[in-house]
Structure 1
Amino acid sequence: MHTPRPHLLFSFGTLLDERVQATLFGGPVPSRPAALAGHTTTPLRITDATVIATSGLDVHLTLVRQHGAEVKGAALRLTDADLEAADAYEVDDYVRRRVRLTSGETTWAYLDARPLRPASRIVIVGDSIAYGRCDPRGGWAGRLAAAHIAENETGHRLFNLAIPGSTLTDVSEQTPALLGPRLPDTLLVAAGINDAALPGPRTRTDRQLTDALASLADTAMRHNARLVVAGPSWIDETRTPADDGLHFTRDRALALRATLRTWCADHDVDHLDLWEPLRDRPDLLTDGLHPTPEGHEALYRHIVTLAHQTSRRARC
């Protein structure tokens, strides 16, 4: 009886080894040559004894972004069971995400679990909080830009394209035309609080939110960029303004947060939850919605921690 092999997985390292395939999959699996543009590799030291025993190596390779580079490997055709075995084999420093091969096919690949660490060219889209309103230093995005570029003045870029007042639907419509000349490898979507407004003509339903996220995922994939969704941040409902008939409630903000988390988990997309840094800290908000400079600093530090946190099972 034929066993379906519905999954395509790009590999350039130990998963191509015959011994590893014999251990994980029971023998060799169908494959063909493949390449992944916009990436290069860097060593990753492994401490998990089971992984070392299977591969015979305590240093594996991990993908990092580099414009103009290319990693050659193979596309493996896997069954459901094979993919589960590969997931179990990979240490916590890796997560399985969708990428686009040079052939144009989309496939799985194991990427750095810390979504901003391997990034080179980051584009941020969102609303006034991502834009940096109420902070002369450009908010959390301005701080992230300064640190990212300082790390590699030659190769690193960050473009903040956030527009105050935008909803996720607005962002999904605005973004495609903005990405081409910026050559992004990472699209950081700051899901702002405008999507939590009630009542009014711009109130968003879960279907509108998920449609916007799906559109942004398609846009990112067309550029072979990694999609990262951040937000929302905590609000002080007692002080939120009622601008243009919009009213912001904590329950709606929490519902937005739940929708983002669920969608990202269901679609294997990275989510940076920004709720906790400002939670129950009205002193870090200027008007119940927009962070003060100190609030933006707290968000920035939280984002860096989430995007660069160290795994429990392996360490670079």
Structure 2
Amino acid sequence: MIRKTRPGSFPITDPAVIAAGGLDVQLVLERERGSSVEGAVLHLTDRDLAAADAYEDDDRARRRVVLASGESAWAYLDADPLRSAQRIVVVGDSIAYGRCDPRGGWTSRLAAAHITRNEAAHRVFNLAVPGSFLSDVSEQTPALLAARLPDTLVVAAGVNDCAIPLASADAPYDVPAHIAEHLGSLAATALNHHARLVVVGPAWIDEARTGDYGGLRFTEARVRALRASVRAWCDGHHVDFLDLWEPLRGKPELLLDGIHPTAEGHEALYRHLGAPGC
């Protein structure tokens, strides 16, 4: 039995799958607090899992879920984690917080659209803190979730981790290992709260304008490396990765100081996340 899910229908868009099965909809698990779905747990080999992944089309993704027994298992869910979410908690740094935007950034726009879809059931809690490193987010998040009953945990942090501290510019660059450690901890936290982990990648920066930012220097090369590390970790652990690089790339006018998006920049990030489906 899978806890906190309910069966729903999902449109199939792959013509080959429709032709093979004769249906254009498929049942899919949707999260709903207090609900459960009866079923069986299959013990598969890596080869079996690979075959199942190949069979499923791009509209579904294999993700970890918690069973009523407390054990975890793989299940195929809606590949769009925000479309299927109800209660979303966002943790991260100043960009997720919405600094430099009177409207509260892309997170505030997401919240408005998400809650409008279902005012009774949908919630978005923006708990991002400017200046946060991924280690801060990993340490502080467990205590924040229980009262908010999330089904989706969105992590938008890491840019501060890849900055060069001017006081020790020759320090070793170990962000990939650092990222793996703290994202792994956040994945465990999300699973403990029956929530789906969603990791937001960094946005493009205008290196020519970042300069000395509070004793830190940001470079495009390091932010690119961070983006690659986060994506690789998410791919390797079957965790949702939302890439925010392209909406701002090569558009310095959408950045106030080379790092923080303007209001128009945040609007571009929000639209890139798929505003009509949020």
TM-score under structure 2 length normalisation: 0.92
What residue number does 1:118 align with? 84
For the residues of structure 2 that align with 1:47 and 1:303, how far apart are their CA atoms? 20
For the residues of structure 1 that align with 2:214 and 2:116, how far apart are their CA atoms? 40
| 1:245 equivalent in alignment to 2:215 | yes
Matching of residues 1-316 of structure 1 within 5 Å: 35-46=1-12, 48=14, 51-52=17-18, 55=21, 57-199=23-165, 200=167, 205-304=175-274, 308=277
Note the C-alpha offset of 1:55.
4.6
Task: Indicate if the aligned counterparts of 2:162 and 2:175 stay in contact, CA closer than 8 A.
Answer: no
- Seen in structure 2, the aligned counterparts of structure 1 residues 56 and 164 have a Cα distance that, compared at 3 Å, is same
For the residues of structure 1 that align with 2:202 and 2:24, how far apart are their CA atoms? 39
Q: Write the deviation string for residues 16-68 of structure 1: whole angstroms up to 9, x where unpaired.
A: xxxxxxxxxxxxxxxxxxx1111112112335465456555443211222111
Mean alpha-carbon deviation: is it higher for 180-189 or for 37-46? 37-46
- Seen in structure 2, the aligned counterparts of structure 1 residues 287 and 75 have a Cα distance that, compared at 3 Å, is same
Give 1:286's aligned amino acid. Answer: L
Task: Indicate if the aligned counterparts of 1:195 and 1:204 stay in contact, CA closer than 8 A.
Answer: no
- Seen in structure 2, the aligned counterparts of structure 1 residues 48 and 288 have a Cα distance that, compared at 3 Å, is closer
- Seen in structure 2, the aligned counterparts of structure 1 residues 291 and 204 have a Cα distance that, compared at 3 Å, is farther
Structure of larger gyration radius = 1
Secondary structure of the structure 2 residue equivalent to 1:114: coil
Note the C-alpha offset of 1:85.
2.6
For the residues of structure 2 that align with 1:63 and 1:177, how far apart are their CA atoms? 27
Secondary structure of the structure 2 residue equivalent to 1:243: coil
What residue number does 1:23 align with? none
- Seen in structure 2, the aligned counterparts of structure 1 residues 48 and 144 have a Cα distance that, compared at 3 Å, is closer
Identity %: 62
User: Pairwise CA RMSD of aligned residues?
Assistant: 2.0
Note the C-alpha offset of 1:70.
1.3
For the residues of structure 1 that align with 2:255 and 2:14, how far apart are their CA atoms? 43
For the residues of structure 2 that align with 1:142 and 1:266, how far apart are their CA atoms? 30
Q: Write the deviation string for residues 78-115 of structure 1: whole angstroms up to 9, x where unpaired.
A: 22332223222222211111111111111100010111
| Unmatched tracts of structure 2, length 5 or more | none
Give 1:283's aligned amino acid. Answer: E
Secondary structure of the structure 2 residue equivalent to 1:238: helix
What is the aligned length?
A: 274
Note the C-alpha offset of 1:266.
0.8
Q: Write the deviation string for residues 182-217 of structure 1: whole angstroms up to 9, x where unpaired.
A: 011100000242122102579763211210111101
Give 2:203's aligned amino acid. Answer: S
| Unmatched tracts of structure 1, length 5 or more | 1-34, 310-316
Secondary structure of the structure 2 residue equivalent to 1:96: strand
Task: Indicate if the aligned counterparts of 2:13 and 2:59 stay in contact, CA closer than 8 A.
Answer: no
Secondary structure of the structure 2 residue equivalent to 1:155: coil
For the residues of structure 2 that align with 1:148 and 1:74, how far apart are their CA atoms? 33
Note the C-alpha offset of 1:239.
1.0
